[in-house]
Chain A
């Protein structure tokens, strides 16, 4: 029996634009995310991905429908801190998320605000920094770190709250290739070793390949959903939607069109080498 981490029940979120029109950023979303799952959300800018993410930790409240995080209704104002503690969020720009002048103080910020006793905070900070492989930098000033390192500090800050679920809204968009690799390795490890539920928003298809399930949004709705192999085998459909596929998937697709007999669900370099 799979346990549910986040449940969305017919959720609509609307905002009012400059012309006083009401626009639905997400509409009638029904979605269940299971504990321990690694979900990637893809979609255009403006398709409602970030709104969906913010509904999952009560940064936004649904206009219609219900969102439950670990069974807690996000509109229950008395439980808002339980929700935020259960589902932690990491944003795109690391510089906007770091508040302290020393790495370990930054990571301690969350638990300090929860009123946790100092001994326990010390333990949590060390554990969180170890989990993102940044323990040796604990006394550094964050501005001296690289983008990937700063983003891992932001993740450690969330981890120190002991969340079951981590929501990441384009955490790699501003990073260089090695920074991206560091952050993705960290996310993958947290999912596999620490059994954290991961909800990862990205425009990078090579990151989406790592997921258990991909959700594609367009105009506020979920229009495709499935395992990476199911999603990326539909190259033409994805291209029509203005989305991408990994380069090796595209190459396999083009070779198939030339009559080369290879499977249509190639996702990685190793897979394509092995079938040729």
Chain B
């Protein structure tokens, strides 16, 4: 088990008129190598939740274990947590600050006190992991790069810390479709090739449907749904009540099922929909 969360509660401004319960008794286990999608409307507690996973926030009550280490205990060093859990913020490119791409990515490893050789090796490796050409880009200013490239530099900076768990908060927000597909493709590869445990926070039901093994839905500080994307997206009305939705293609299959009663409507990608419709047409099995 990679992450174990027990009775996690977080209260902002406790004992003041502004007291808000942002997380309400969360219990969750995540296996090593899992690819988790985390969805929920704005203010549902997603950001508060993920900030607990690398020690940016401390729980009001409850425990979090990362690979057996209780990160909520007082004697645990933040450095140790941050090495295990990498957190990529929304609009992570705003955090780039160095003169060159290589220096920016090296910032984390340098603070770990690693040797020059090890730092260079990690910069090279992490650039390769996000599909950036080391030789071409290492001496460029990060600010000259495209939006998608900048964001990948920011992700490489986190990967250079060699985290076992990578959390990404809306890594595609504001990117064009091509930049979005690049980033998502790289994240998928990190999961498949490097077996990193990934938690992806997203507002795009379409992206989530294509990628994750398991989907966790938050609402008002609680986990209200937990299952495969196919299970979760079969509950469109419930998701809409929670301020969310389902992929357009799933809406379409549900609408089509009213006409063709014999088709499956638990379809979550365009290619699945194509196969199902062709099967119905060619098998002459609509209704």
Contact = CB atoms under 8 A, between A and B. Distances in A.
A177 B244 contact: yes
Interface in A144-186: 146-148, 170, 173-181
Contact of A178 (B41, B178, B255, B273): B41
A80 interface: no
Most interface-central of A173, A175, A255, A273 (chain B CB within 10 A):
A273
A68 to B, nearest CB: 29
Contact of A146 (B41, B248, B271): B41
B256 A276 contact: yes
Interface in B155-177: 173-177
B281 A260 contact: yes
A45 B244 contact: no
B132 interface: no
B203 A176 contact: yes
B55 interface: no
B42 A175 contact: yes
B144 interface: yes
Contacts of B176: 43-45, 203, 242-243
Contacts of B259: 273, 276
B266 interface: no
A258 B248 contact: no
Contacts of B43: 146
A254 interface: yes
Contacts of B174: 45, 92, 170, 173-174, 203
Contacts of B141: 18
Interface in A9-58: 17-18, 43-46
Given A179-B42, A243-B177, A244-B177, A17 B144 contact: yes
Contact of A272 (B41, B252, B258, B281): B252
Contacts of A3: none
Overall SS of chain B's interface? helix
B109 interface: no
Contacts of A146: 41-43, 243
Interface in B236-254: 240, 243-245, 247-249, 251-252
B278 interface: yes
Interface in B178-215: 178-180, 203, 205-206
A174 B169 CA distance: 12
Most interface-central of B147, B203, B206, B258 (chain A CB within 10 A):
B203
Interface string B209-244: 000000000000000000000000000000010011
Interface stretch (A103-111, A112-120, A124-132, A245-253): A245-253
A24 B255 CA distance: 47
Contact of B277 (A44, A148, A244, A255): A255
A96 to B, nearest CB: 12
Smallest CB-CB A-B distances: 3 pairs: A242-B178, A45-B147, A178-B243
Given A17-B144, A146-B42, A179-B42, 16 more contacts: A44-B176, A45-B176, A46-B147, A174-B173, A177-B243, A206-B248, A244-B177, A247-B249, A248-B249, A251-B273, A254-B274, A255-B274, A255-B278, A273-B258, A276-B256, A276-B277
15 contacts: A18-B143, A18-B144, A43-B176, A44-B178, A45-B174, A175-B42, A176-B243, A177-B203, A180-B203, A205-B177, A206-B248, A254-B274, A260-B277, A273-B255, A273-B259
